[in-house]
Structure 1
């Protein structure tokens, strides 16, 4: 059976968003690895690296806070174009600045992504647009394609992080200018993404009586999801890819080239796992798919700090990456499924903002802990918190099923033969 590149009901907007997502993921893939190396080369310590990483996440949260409201006024196309221009400005700022405070300001207002997933202002804008770009039947499959594009191109981007080392060996370019060139490439990627966003068509739901609106009847469940997702995001911030790279640099003296190779494979395994997300969700449901794949990956994290061998640590990180990302498209699809269509933009924003705020606190703590001790306290703490999140998610939401999961069971019940009443 031939695998379709896009679901059958996906429209042109879905294709353009996913192409742009792939471009941005390429840049995010190498920036998340080069960021700590670049900051260390500029003379910053582990805590300052943590502060810079936190600023990128907190700034993204501040921007996404307004997404549910600006889509009402401006739609999706113009905010995405503005975000792409901001991405270009961010890359040029990091390439041209070397002082801590100006760089911190650019990190806060810009779009740098220090993690393996997308935590920028693009995410809620693209999510709400994708939810309107395919039928409910194909929604989860579309989100899988979206996440798959991010993981595959993020893997390719991770390999690009080795270019400064390669340029130093082959051409004799000093590491610092080579890394600055990669940030210029990041800026160019933002402009290339804008070319796709310019061709977007505003969906009909953003106009007239069906226009998106702030949360109404789904407010309670969205607030519960946002608070719980924040726990996962905070623990993820403790081990944002830039922080994890920093820990590997300090603990195992890992080179940038070796880190690029490692995170190429972690992203590739994450992408491969996406193919199992849709059939698994169709079989056991979205919530169980999130929990039953994410929990083993959390246990891998708990084991990592206690392992003295780099080989075993790499094995655990690879195993974790094979399991940890199947919850991303299923979570996005679940949020869009349990709210009304007009609330989707606000729901995407209000579940993304607390996640970004919570994840922004994590690197501050991790940078401080790594400054005090070489032990992987951030990794251990992240594993424990993620395990708690998985169990709480199962307990709180396993009974809240989206309509497409309820219909098959109702059909099964209606197909059962009627039991005749017993005669007295």
Structure 2
């Protein structure tokens, strides 16, 4: 996340500095997401067979390779190939195979009733890394600009990103066997290969010592009779649409928005992104307690809906301080659902299918998000970049309402 945080504020600014058109930049970011779909699907579908550690190392090596390409090349086609086949994040969020693999590993190592808290701390550390990367990027660019060109400063950040990928490759190779899928006897393994990915009955059952967490908590609610696979399909579809909305306003375009509309400097932009990430850390600390108190889906919706209203209002902020305040508030609230989402999905399938399901979810989200940057690029062409925020917030608001209604009365036990 340090690497992703470092390049997110400068990616679009660097492509503009190379004199690529807004349409080319939007297409570039969309094709980057499309390449991520292919990489994520291949890795997620083969990771349990070929080894989670090995595939994590492969993804990290791809991250290092793409960073190196951006550090040495200025050619549009070469950069597009590196971004499509490698790992580049326009949003600052984790892309590639990392999220699915790491969530599956943590889900296996942690007891079911503790997964919300484990994934909460996982997200928390990610936000800290994002903030450190963003601040470091701004400091590095500001320092190098005084002694060299802006382009050289940006390319130095990408060289740093490549070094992060290399270090992550070495660390992935040092993981132990406990991160791999637990070995089963031969008969059970063959039976699992024939088991459908989406179960027809709940797969996590209560123990005498573990509490249950309702998806929707209501004294009179009863478990729904609709098949879990229908609910799971609904959740995946809504998460995909939500991802499209998010792709309209990635951190790279937020940086461009702050620079073009309010004249913010790169130091201000990276400080804002870092501040938003650190604020998200503070808010994430309350995620586990909120879930225990009101349930999974209510916790997601009650934080998301205010965040989307703030997102809509961001386009109409009269001054830079107002825009910064709204952006930090929006990021803090919307980030609280990340660990909840992973817990909800992990609890819907058996452990041996978890990596594949999380990979499919990541692929679905990324695939649906692919047109988003291109749409925003067209808005930039039309001098209407600020309208990407109301469009994004409106779509996310509708997704939250649909999720709340679609999972009404459902119950999930740990």
TM-score interval (norm. to shorter)? 0.7 to 0.9
Runs of 4+ in 1 over 6 A off after TM superposition: none
Q: Which runs of 5+ in 1 are unaligned?
A: 1-24, 405-424
Instruction: Establish whether residue 396 from structure 1 lines up as the match of residue 406 from structure 2.
Output: yes
Q: Give distance in 2, aligned partners of 1:400 and 1:77.
A: 35
Among residues 84, 90, 94, which one is paired with 2:70 in the alignment?
A: 94
Partner residue of 1:167? 144
Normalising by structure 1, we get a TM-score of: 0.85
- Residue of 190, 194, 201 corresponding to 2:169: 194
Residue correspondence of structure 1 range 33-52 to structure 2 within 5 A: 33-52=9-28
Query: 1:369: which partner in 2?
Result: 379
Structure-2 change in CA distance of 1:361 and 1:202 (3 Å): farther
- 1:222-269 per-position Cα deviation (integer Å, ceiling 9, x unaligned): 322211101110000000111221222221222211101110111111
Q: CA RMSD in A?
A: 1.6
Partner Cα distance (1:33, 1:251) in 2:
16
Equivalent residue in structure 1 for 2:285, among 263, 275, 300 = 275
Taking structure 2 as the reference length, the TM-score comes to 0.87
Q: State the distance in 1 between where 2:409 and 2:27 align.
A: 40
Please tell me whether the aligned partners of residues 231 and 406 of structure 2 are also in contact (alpha carbons under 8 angstroms): no
Q: Is the 8 A contact 2:6 2:161 kept in 1?
A: no
1:105 and 2:81 correspond: yes
Distance 1:121 1:398 in 2: 32
Deviations 1:313-337 (A, max 9, x none): 1111111122110000010111001
Verify the 8 A CA contact 1:291 1:390 in the aligned structure 2.
yes
Matched with 2:158 is: 183
| CA distance, structure 2, for counterparts of residue 51 and residue 61 of structure 1 | 15
Alpha-carbon displacement from aligned partner over 1:7-48 (angstroms, at most 9, x marks no partner):
xxxxxxxxxxxxxxxxxx111111000111211111112222
Q: Does 1:71 align with 2:47?
A: yes
Task: State the secondary structure of the residue aligned to 2:31.
Answer: helix
Checking the alignment, whether the CA contact within 8 Å between 2:53 and 2:175 is kept in structure 1 is yes
Q: Secondary structure at the match of 1:259?
A: helix
How much does 1:375 deviate? 4.9
Q: Which of the numbers 358, 364, 372 marks the counterpart of 2:368?
A: 358
Whether the 8 Å contact between 1:237 and 1:358 is mirrored in structure 2 is no
Instruction: Trace 1:225-264 onto structure 2 (pairs within 5 A).
Output: 225-264=235-274
Q: Deviations over 1:24-77 (max 9, x none)?
A: x11111100011121111111222222222222221111112334202321201
8 Å CA contact 1:111, 1:121 repeated in 2: no
Residue by residue over 1:85-144, the C-alpha shift from the partner in whole angstroms, topping out at 9 and shown as x without a partner, is 111111111111111111111111111111132132211111111110111121111101
Name the CA distance, whole Å, in 2 between partners of 1:175 and 1:315: 28
Give the aligned length.
378
